[in-house]
Structure formats: C-alpha cells, structure tokens
Structure 1
C-alpha cells in the first residue's frame, strides 16, 4: 500500500492518526471537512475535494473542499447543481477506477471542476469512494500545481475514504431524532423518480435496484414477462445516468437473420460482401459514449454471442471485412423474456456470456404483481391518448376501474396500454365505460363465490388459453414460452379441462 510513497513509515503513522482522529467529528459535515483537510495534508496537495452522490444516485455534488490548507467553501451560487457533465469525474465514478494524471496543463482533459488559479494545476488523483457493500458513493479528488505522480496514494486514500463513509452513515444514524424510522444512505426512491409509473412495493424494489446501478459500469440484464416494460426501464437507466446526453439505441436481436444482425451491430467495410459499396458503421459505433439495448438477447445466434462476449470483455469491435479492431465505450443493457439459464442448459446460449450479462439482473414484475398500479397506469395512458388525439381528458366510471383492477393482464403493461388506447377511441362521451373495453368474459373472475384456489385456477386457465391461441395450439411452443416441460403443460391442461381439439385447424 505504501510502495512509491516518500518516507513510508512517517506516512503510515500520519495515516493511522487520521483513522483515530476522524471518528471524533461531531457531525457529518464536520467529518467531511476534516477528511478533505486530512487528505490534503497526507498527499501534500494544495487542493482536495469530496463529491457525493445523492440518495437517488442521480446527482453528484461537491460536499467539501480544502484549498491551500484552508477550508474555503466555494460560493454555492457559483457551483453547478450537478457534476454529471464532467467526463473525467464520471469516468472514475461509473468505471469505479482510480484516475491519476500528470501534466494537466498540456492535456486535452476538461478540468473545469477545479478552482481557477494563476498557476495552472499539473497533477490530479481521483479515487472512487466505495461503501461496505462495494457500491460507489462518490469521489475523492486531490490536485497539485507541481508535476508529481499521485497514484502511489490511491490505495491508502481508498481505504481511508471507505472508513469515512462508514463513519458518515453512523453519524447520520446517531443524529436521527428519537422515534424517526431509519433511512439508508442510499434510500430507495419512488417509481416516479425515474419517470416510471406506479407506487407498488414491486416497482419500488425495481427502482431501488436501478438506483444502485446507475453510476456503475456493470452490464444490466432486464428479465421478465413480455410487456413488462423492459425498454422503458432501460431508457430510465440511460436518461438518469451519466450517459444521458449521448445516444440511446435499441436493437431487437430476433428481428434480423444472423448475417444481417452481425453487420447491423458491428458495421462493415466496402467490399465485405455483395452490395457493400461503402463503409458503414454499426450500432456499437453509433452508440459510442451512450447506451445500446440488446432486446431479446436470448434469440441471438451462437456465433454472434462469441463476438458480443469479446465486446463486453475488451470493449473493442471489428467490422465485417476489416482486419483491424477499435475501442468503443458503450454501456450494454440486455433484455429477455426467456430464461437464459434454461437456454444455457439446452446448449443454445453460451454459459460464459450468460454469466457476463447477468452481472446485475433486474427482474421486472408482472402487472398482476404490482398491486395498485393498474389504475395509475390506465389513467396515465388515457391522458396521453387524449393529448395525442387533441381531445378533452376523460373521466372513469367506477365499474370500468373495477373491471381493469380485476383482470389478470397476461400481456402486462403493453396489453393495458392497447386496451386503454382503444377504449379512448371508442368513447364518444366524456366518461370511459365498461363497454369500451374488449375483455372476454372468460377472463374475468366472478365477483363473489370464489375462494383463493378457484380464483388462481381461473387466472391460470386464462394464461394457458392465451398462450395456446398465440401459438395456434402448438403444445411444444406454448410449453417453451411458459417455461414448462411439455408433460407438465399437458397435465395442467387436463386438470383445468382445456380441450386441445378446440385449437386444431
């Protein structure tokens, strides 16, 4: 830890003294101020700063600064409300990597976040602040007007910073008024915090997971049934993260045959194949600096899976017809409604790619699991449809609301959106009624007389019927979509008295 540091024994003694003295701070603000002063003294730098993420992990703010050995907080009115636009800070934050630079004066790096001085800044060290759960909570930065290599201080500053984060959480806990419930440092945010609709417990958990991954470099795998809003969540991760000013590109891996999908993703050079009369960049190049959503990743051909794995591991691509590779900086989000673990066992999906994609999985809840969200979503879709059609907003009859809240919605949010938009088109008055919604009676549970088991059987019956209709009665395809062995599907059909001859043509 102390290799490369002048007088390592003296430095170790001074570092140990800070581990002893910093916990004596009376509150969080004093702790951060003492921390930046300690860092300045240990590193010999004229400037030290601490940046912390807010509770939603969407904003990065300057929390404490020590300049020339003295705490000199910059005028709050002159400070940016958010440092998400600073690429150097965001690189260290999102990649969870130490940044050490020498010769800032002649470099191309933008350092507007450093206070202006007559003598230019020459050296910089930026260290991620990581909590006990290994999540990045902010950044520690120190800078010098001398041209010195500060990288030797990185390991010890990382340890001291993690210690300070733990002390900060402890102080916040101790200073909470008696009887007030505990609040995590990274408290979960409501669904509306990321532009998502819904206040259910299930959506709250989804948003908590989003907040954990916004400022990390991890690949996100969005799982869940068809129609649960995987693209909407991917867009939220992009729009509320540090890449929001760059491109967000979506590619459905099931929409192209293998040869076309490869050229679409990686691009090609002139003469690579018949008809390639010019160079064409691929979607990885188009999304450089931004986010690429690979939808239906489970349908990607095996040969392309190997190329995708290399992109994830090396951050480099090679266009069709080219012998050269080049680096790309793309955040990849994958989405699928299929069970990738099952595909791995069947040999249709690479195991190494699966584990690389599943770095940070988020399972999106089905609409039937989002208690109370159906009506919020229905009103939202109705208002948007009215705005699009340039008509007055519609009210809802209680019976129409009861109808929607009692429906199982096998197609999830996508099905709800289609039903509401159709109802708005059919409605000629000012109120949405039951007759405006095309729900078959067999899918609606009776109001009374059904116990829990009977209600669950009706929901299961509807799901099986819907899947069989979609697959024209093909039992193997229906079993695959439902994630069931064919034998189990046949057993359930027999138990529910579903006649397969009804689906034969």
Structure 2
C-alpha cells in the first residue's frame, strides 16, 4: 500500500500517528476535523473535503472542508440524490472507484464543487469510504494547486477515513441518552430517485416503502398483478442500496423443473449426476455480495421451498453432490402475482417460508390504480421505441391520449409498453392517433374501482362516439338519433372531451 511513496517509512509513522490521534478524540465533529487536517498533511494537498451520505442514503452532503490548514464547516450543503450535476463524485460513489486526476486544468471534468481560488486546481484524488459491510458511506477528496502524484495515497487515506467514520459513530452512540432517541426524518423520494416513472399517490406510497427498506438487509416480497413491473422495482432496490456495485441475478422459479431449479440455484459438483463433468457454481454463488431476484416464487416446488428456507435462515448452501455447506451473503428479493396466504391455506406453500419471505412486503399498484401515470409511461415508452427504431420522435394527438386514459389495462405496464410499440410500427406519419391503438371495446369501463358517476360518464362517452361514427360525424343526425337538442349534444361533446380524432378509432 505504501510501496509507491517516496519515503514509505516516514509516511507510515505519520499515518500511525494519525490513527492514534483519531482514536483519542472525544467529540465526533472534532474527530472529523482532525481527520481532514491529517489528510492534507499526509498528502501534501492544500484542500481536503469530506462528503457523507445522509441517513436515508438519498443525498450526498459536503460535511466539512479543510483549506490551507483551516477547517471550514460546510454542514447543510447538499447535492441531489442522483448526483447528475457532479459526474466525478457520482462515478466514485456509485462505482466504488478511486478517481485520481493529475492535470485538472487540461481535463473536461466539472470540478465546481472545489472552492474557487486565484490559482487553478491541478491535482485531485477522490477515495470512497467503506463501512464494515463494504458499502460506500461517503467520499474523502483532496486537491492541490501543484501537479503531483496522489494515487499512492488512496489506500491509506481510504482506511483512515473508514476508521474515522467508525469512531464518529461510536462516539455518537456513547453520547446518545438511553430511551431518548429521535427518529431520522425520511423524505419521500420522487420518481427519478429510483429510476421509476409515476407521480400518482399509489406510486408515491410505493416509493416511500422502498425508501424504508432499500438500505436494510431484510428480504423484500413484491406482490401485485402480472405486468406491474416487479423486476423493475427489484432492480431499483438493488441499484439504490449498498449492494449496487455487486451482481444482480434474476431467476424465474416457474421456468425450470424442480431438479433443474435446484442445480441452477445451488450449483453442483463434478459427478453429481450424468453429464456433470465439472464443478458449476449456482446463482447464489454468482450473487454473493449482491442481490438475487426470485421471480414467481409462488410456483416453486415444496421440496425446493424447504431448501430456500434454510438459505434464508442460515445463510449457507450445499451444492448438489457435495456433503459440505458454505456461507453466502445474498439479499433476496422475491416476487409473485399469486396470493401466497391462500396457497399456504391450501398446503401448496410453506407457512414458515411465507413469513420469512414476507419480512417486508410491497404491494405494487395496478396501472388502473395509478391515476395520471398512464400518459407519462406511454410517452416514455414511445421515446425509447423511437430511439431504438432510429426514427424521429412522434407527437401525441389528444384523442390518442384520451383513448389510452379510458382503458383499464388488465395487462398493466407490460401491456401498455407492447401497445405503444405496436402503435409506433403502425404509425406512418409523425402523430399517434386512436386508430394506431387496438383496444378491445368490451374491456372498456370494467374498472370496478370507479364510482357510479365515473362509470356513467364513460358509458355516455362511448355511446356518443359510437353514434357519431355510425352517422359519419354528422352531429345533427346524431342528436336526432339520441333524442337530444343539437345544442345539448354540443355541450355534452365538449364536457366529455370528444373530438374528431376520437372517431378514427
């Protein structure tokens, strides 16, 4: 770790002195200040900064700064959750990678998070700080006006910073009065916080639940109808959590027979069965340190359920053809569209496994329950499809948007995505019209969650559209057939937002 430094023994003595000094600190703020001063002394840089993730791990804040030997607290300065305007910090934090730049004046990196100085900054080193679970808790950054080599300091500064954070947390626990703890305020993230789309109350409740569990080690059970985006949510939980730099593995439990599923999950040893000519690790080994997403867990055979339960309880697996077990560190996110409590009562699902999986259940809302999200999702899928097909973006007619908004989507988000992609293939012009969407009319207005007034309005709208189509858009004949004065018909057409484009479907 010190071999690349000019005077490794002198540096080692200085480093030990810094560790010793931090271990004697009696105050957390004082400790972090001493740490930053130590960083500037060890590296020879004029600037050292400490960035820490907040308790919810949704925002990165500049905790403190040491410039020219003077500590300058910067509490309250906070960056956004996605760090999109701080690409360099974003890379170091999300990828858990050391960033070392030796010529900042010639680089294209945005370094406006560094304090303004008459002399330009030339060298920079940014090191992730890890906790005991090897998850990134923050960053330590040092910079100099001189062009110097800082890479050799990365390992020692990272270990010193991790020690400083652990000591700070220890001091906080020691000073915390018993029984008088205050809960950490948790803000509800918006859709972009987890890469999910939707601003409806139902989705905001989902974001709130994700926010509570994303940084915990607990098992998550995703429930909901087919097509509601359970795998997307599972990926979001992984990508926003402390295991984001490790593997995310997906296994559909309904896709394999029982014996094949066991070998897929647990692996096997050479000679375990005919054709096993070599050792093969399973998906639990592949996901070690990361997340394993078990889709359609309700279709898992009973014998496999017992083996999965042991993994959840003991954290160890035994490959096929092997007598020994070994530990794995895997977070399980399971999903199913089936009612597991009903399967338990029918004897088709183990009760003990059900309670172990349902440690933190999240019920994903159906698309018909996500008021206002349909149009946002439709536009998103259209933009992605246009980029894939290498065609110009399309416009949406008001009639097409109204057409989609009136449909209940029994296939949920998956059905909407397929419908939009098909509509783009049918669209020869630059605007999507109702005729590009094939919506089964018998499924309209079957949403049992609608109130009577809403059902009547939807029925009236469909009736008027059908009558106008029958009369080729002639409003006088339509009014006569419906037994309405023409002025009343025009009023109802405006109230129900019926326009000429609706007649094309």
**Interval of TM-score (by shorter of Structure 1 and Structure 2):** 0.5 to 0.7
What per-residue deviation string (whole Å, max 9, x for no partner) do you get for residues 398-425 of structure 1? Answer: 1110010011111100010011010011
What does residue 411 of structure 2 align with? 411
Counterpart in 2 of 1:113? 158
How far apart, in 2, do the equivalents of 1:217 and 1:51 lie?
Answer: 24
2:428 aligned counterpart, secondary structure: coil
1:105-504 to structure 2, matched below 5 A, reads 112-115=157-160, 141-142=166-167, 158=173, 160-161=175-176, 166=181, 185-445=185-445, 452=452, 455=455
Deviation at 1:277, TM superposition (A): 1.1
Residue 133 (structure 2) aligns with: 91
Q: Tell me, what secondary structure is at the counterpart of 1:333? A: strand
* Runs of 5+ unmatched residues, structure 1: 1-32, 41-45, 96-109, 117-123, 127-139, 144-152, 170-183, 460-505
Work out which of the two has the higher radius of gyration on C-alpha atoms and give 1 or 2: 2
Cα distance between partner residues in 2 of 1:89 and 1:162: 24
Whether the aligned pair in 1 keeps the contact of 2:93 and 2:136 (CA below 8 Å) is no
> Is the 8 Å Cα contact of residues 58 and 214 (structure 1) preserved in structure 2?
no
Name the SS of the counterpart of 1:371 in structure 2.
Answer: coil
Measured against aligned partners, the alpha-carbon deviations of 1:363-406 in whole angstroms (never above 9, x if no partner) come to: 11111111100000000001111110111111011111001001
Cα distance between partner residues in 2 of 1:432 and 1:276: 54
Find the counterpart in structure 2 of residue 29 from structure 1.
none
Cα contact 2:334–2:357 (8 A) shared by 1: yes
SS at match of 1:141: helix
Which residue of the partner structure matches residue 150 of structure 2? none
Residues 324 and 255 of structure 1: CA distance in aligned 2, closer, same or farther (over 3 Å): same
Residue 57 (structure 1) shift: 2.4
Residue equivalent to 2:466: none
User: Which position in structure 2 is the counterpart of 1:465?
Assistant: none
Question: In the aligned structure 1, how far is the partner of 2:302 from the partner of 2:387?
Answer: 44
How does the TM-score come out when normalised to structure 2?
Answer: 0.62
Three-state SS of the structure 2 residue aligned to 1:226 is coil
CA distance in 2, matches of 1:80, 1:391: 34
State the aligned residue count.
357
Which 5+ residue runs of structure 2 have no aligned equivalent?
1-25, 40-48, 78-85, 97-127, 138-154, 460-505
Structure 1 contact 37–71 (Cα < 8 Å) conserved: no
**3-state secondary structure, aligned to 1:91:** coil
* TM-score normalised according to structure 1 size: 0.62
Q: Does the CA-based 8 Å contact 2:135-2:243 persist in structure 1?
A: no
1:11-160 correspondence runs (5 A): 35-37=28-30, 53-54=53-54, 57-59=57-59, 63=63, 85=96, 88-89=130-131, 91=133, 112-115=157-160, 141-142=166-167, 158=173, 160=175
**Cα 1:451/1:283, change in 2 over 3 Å:** closer
Give the Å deviation of 1:329. 1.4
Whether the aligned pair in 1 keeps the contact of 2:266 and 2:318 (CA below 8 Å) is yes
2:302/2:350 contact within 8 Å kept: yes
Structure 2 distance, partners of 1:362, 1:229, is 12
Distance change >3 Å, CA 350–CA 220, structure 1 → 2? same
1-structure distance, mates of 2:382, 2:177:
48
Alpha-carbon deviations, 1:412-444, whole Å to 9, x = none? 000100110100110011100111111111122
CA distance in 2, matches of 1:443, 1:322: 54
Alignment partners' CA distance in 2, 1:199 and 1:111: 45
How far off is 1:157 after superposition?
5.2
Give, in whole Å, the separation in 2 of the partners of 1:237 and 1:437.
Answer: 33
Q: Is the 8 A contact 2:63 2:74 kept in 1?
A: no
